[in-house]
Protein backbone atom coordinates (compact mmCIF):
# COMPACT_ATOMS: atom_id res chain seq x y z
CA UNK A 1 0.00 0.00 0.00
CA UNK A 2 2.78 2.42 0.87
CA UNK A 3 4.27 2.37 -2.62
CA UNK A 4 0.97 3.53 -4.13
CA UNK A 5 0.61 6.37 -1.62
CA UNK A 6 4.18 7.37 -2.47
CA UNK A 7 3.06 7.63 -6.09
CA UNK A 8 0.08 9.75 -5.02
CA UNK A 9 2.51 12.00 -3.12
CA UNK A 10 4.56 12.41 -6.31
CA UNK A 11 1.39 13.60 -8.03
CA UNK A 12 0.75 16.04 -5.16
CA UNK A 13 4.27 17.43 -5.60
CA UNK A 14 3.59 17.98 -9.31
CA UNK A 15 0.44 19.91 -8.39
CA UNK A 16 2.41 22.07 -5.95
CA UNK A 17 5.07 22.79 -8.56
CA UNK A 18 2.28 23.96 -10.89
CA UNK A 19 0.80 26.26 -8.22
CA UNK A 20 -2.16 23.96 -7.55
CA UNK A 21 -3.30 22.76 -4.13
CA UNK A 22 -1.06 19.70 -3.72
CA UNK A 23 -3.39 16.72 -3.83
CA UNK A 24 -2.49 13.55 -5.69
CA UNK A 25 -4.29 10.31 -6.40
CA UNK A 26 -3.55 6.98 -8.03
CA UNK A 27 -5.77 4.02 -8.84
CA UNK A 28 -4.33 0.54 -8.69
CA UNK A 29 -5.74 -2.71 -10.03
CA UNK A 30 -4.01 -6.06 -9.72
CA UNK A 31 -0.71 -4.44 -8.74
CA UNK A 32 -0.63 -1.94 -11.61
CA UNK A 33 -1.38 1.78 -11.55
CA UNK A 34 -4.09 2.37 -14.14
CA UNK A 35 -4.97 5.95 -13.27
CA UNK A 36 -3.20 8.90 -11.73
CA UNK A 37 -3.98 12.53 -11.24
CA UNK A 38 -3.19 15.73 -9.41
CA UNK A 39 -5.22 18.87 -8.91
CA UNK A 40 -5.54 21.00 -12.06
CA UNK A 41 -8.49 23.25 -11.19
CA UNK A 42 -6.60 26.52 -11.72
CA UNK A 43 -4.75 25.45 -14.87
CA UNK A 44 -7.84 24.01 -16.50
CA UNK A 45 -10.29 26.60 -15.12
CA UNK A 46 -12.35 23.57 -14.16
CA UNK A 47 -13.78 23.08 -10.67
CA UNK A 48 -14.07 19.34 -11.34
CA UNK A 49 -10.37 18.89 -12.16
CA UNK A 50 -9.55 17.34 -8.79
CA UNK A 51 -6.86 14.67 -8.52
CA UNK A 52 -9.43 11.94 -7.85
CA UNK A 53 -11.62 12.86 -10.82
CA UNK A 54 -8.65 12.89 -13.18
CA UNK A 55 -7.44 9.51 -11.89
CA UNK A 56 -10.95 8.03 -12.21
CA UNK A 57 -11.29 9.26 -15.80
CA UNK A 58 -7.89 7.83 -16.71
CA UNK A 59 -8.61 4.47 -15.04
CA UNK A 60 -12.04 4.20 -16.66
CA UNK A 61 -10.48 4.88 -20.06
CA UNK A 62 -7.86 2.21 -19.32
CA UNK A 63 -10.43 -0.49 -18.46
CA UNK A 64 -12.90 0.73 -21.08
CA UNK A 65 -15.79 0.85 -18.66
CA UNK A 66 -17.24 3.28 -16.10
CA UNK A 67 -17.07 0.68 -13.32
CA UNK A 68 -13.74 0.33 -11.55
CA UNK A 69 -14.52 -2.87 -9.64
CA UNK A 70 -11.47 -4.45 -8.09
CA UNK A 71 -9.67 -1.10 -8.06
CA UNK A 72 -8.08 0.70 -5.12
CA UNK A 73 -7.60 4.44 -4.86
CA UNK A 74 -4.81 6.13 -2.90
CA UNK A 75 -5.28 9.84 -2.28
CA UNK A 76 -3.20 12.26 -0.23
CA UNK A 77 -6.17 14.26 1.10
CA UNK A 78 -9.65 13.10 2.07
CA UNK A 79 -11.95 13.48 -0.95
CA UNK A 80 -14.64 16.17 -1.11
CA UNK A 81 -18.33 15.39 -1.70
CA UNK A 82 -17.97 15.52 -5.50
CA UNK A 83 -15.04 13.12 -5.53
CA UNK A 84 -16.54 10.83 -2.89
CA UNK A 85 -19.68 10.55 -5.02
CA UNK A 86 -17.62 9.71 -8.08
CA UNK A 87 -15.72 7.07 -6.10
CA UNK A 88 -19.03 5.43 -5.15
CA UNK A 89 -20.42 5.67 -8.71
CA UNK A 90 -17.23 4.14 -10.11
CA UNK A 91 -17.57 1.23 -7.66
CA UNK A 92 -14.01 1.59 -6.41
CA UNK A 93 -13.37 -1.22 -3.95
CA UNK A 94 -11.09 0.47 -1.44
CA UNK A 95 -9.98 4.00 -0.65
CA UNK A 96 -6.75 4.76 1.19
CA UNK A 97 -6.57 8.31 2.53
CA UNK A 98 -3.46 10.12 3.72
CA UNK A 99 -4.61 13.27 5.53
CA UNK A 100 -8.16 13.99 6.63
CA UNK A 101 -9.89 17.25 5.65
CA UNK A 102 -11.91 18.62 8.59
CA UNK A 103 -13.32 21.47 6.46
CA UNK A 104 -14.52 19.69 3.31
CA UNK A 105 -13.88 15.96 3.71
CA UNK A 106 -16.69 13.65 2.67
CA UNK A 107 -15.19 10.33 3.75
CA UNK A 108 -15.58 10.63 7.50
CA UNK A 109 -14.79 14.23 8.47
CA UNK A 110 -17.66 16.55 7.54
CA UNK A 111 -19.80 13.73 6.13
CA UNK A 112 -19.28 10.17 4.97
CA UNK A 113 -20.53 9.45 1.48
CA UNK A 114 -18.30 6.47 0.71
CA UNK A 115 -19.54 4.39 3.65
CA UNK A 116 -23.17 5.56 3.60
CA UNK A 117 -25.39 2.50 4.05
CA UNK A 118 -28.23 4.15 2.12
CA UNK A 119 -26.23 4.05 -1.11
CA UNK A 120 -25.97 1.03 -3.40
CA UNK A 121 -22.18 0.74 -3.00
CA UNK A 122 -19.90 1.20 -0.04
CA UNK A 123 -16.15 1.59 -0.21
CA UNK A 124 -13.66 0.01 2.19
CA UNK A 125 -11.76 2.93 3.70
CA UNK A 126 -8.34 3.16 5.34
CA UNK A 127 -7.49 6.50 6.90
CA UNK A 128 -4.12 7.91 7.94
CA UNK A 129 -1.86 6.09 5.47
CA UNK A 130 1.36 8.12 5.47
CA UNK A 131 -0.62 10.88 7.15
CA UNK A 132 2.38 12.90 8.29
CA UNK A 133 3.93 13.03 4.81
CA UNK A 134 0.60 13.90 3.18
CA UNK A 135 -0.13 16.64 5.72
CA UNK A 136 3.39 18.07 5.37
CA UNK A 137 2.99 18.63 1.61
CA UNK A 138 -0.17 20.67 2.23
CA UNK A 139 1.22 22.60 5.21
CA UNK A 140 4.40 23.51 3.34
CA UNK A 141 2.44 24.64 0.29
CA UNK A 142 0.14 26.94 2.23
CA UNK A 143 2.97 28.29 4.42
CA UNK A 144 4.92 29.18 1.27
CA UNK A 145 1.84 30.84 -0.20
CA UNK A 146 1.28 32.93 2.95
CA UNK A 147 4.94 33.97 3.02
CA UNK A 148 4.83 35.01 -0.64
CA UNK A 149 1.72 37.11 0.02
CA UNK A 150 3.39 38.80 3.01
CA UNK A 151 6.52 39.55 0.96
CA UNK A 152 4.44 41.01 -1.85
CA UNK A 153 2.55 43.23 0.57
CA UNK A 154 5.80 44.38 2.21
CA UNK A 155 7.34 45.17 -1.18
CA UNK A 156 4.24 47.13 -2.20
CA UNK A 157 4.44 49.19 0.98
CA UNK A 158 8.14 49.91 0.43
CA UNK A 159 7.47 50.94 -3.18
CA UNK A 160 4.48 53.07 -2.14
CA UNK A 161 1.95 50.82 -3.85
CA UNK A 162 -1.01 50.02 -1.65
Q: Any idea which residues carry the catalytic annotation?
A: 52
Q: Measured between alpha carbons, how far is residue 117 from residues 13, 45, 88, 113, 146 in Å?
A: 35, 34, 12, 9, 40
Rounded distance between C-alpha atoms, residue 50 and residue 124, angstroms: 21
Rounded distance between C-alpha atoms, residue 10 and residue 65, angstroms: 26
Task: Count Cα neighbours of 76 within 13 Å in the Cβ-side half-sphere.
Answer: 31
Please name every residue paired with 32 in a beta bridge, in sequence order, or none if there are none.
29
Rounded distance between C-alpha atoms, residue 115 and residue 55, angstroms: 20
Rounded distance between C-alpha atoms, residue 92 and residue 135, angstroms: 24
Amino acid sequence: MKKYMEEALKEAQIAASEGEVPVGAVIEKEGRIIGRGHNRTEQDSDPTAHAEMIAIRQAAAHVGWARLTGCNMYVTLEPCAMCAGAIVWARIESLHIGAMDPKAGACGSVMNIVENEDLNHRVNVTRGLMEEECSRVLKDFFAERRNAAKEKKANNIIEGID
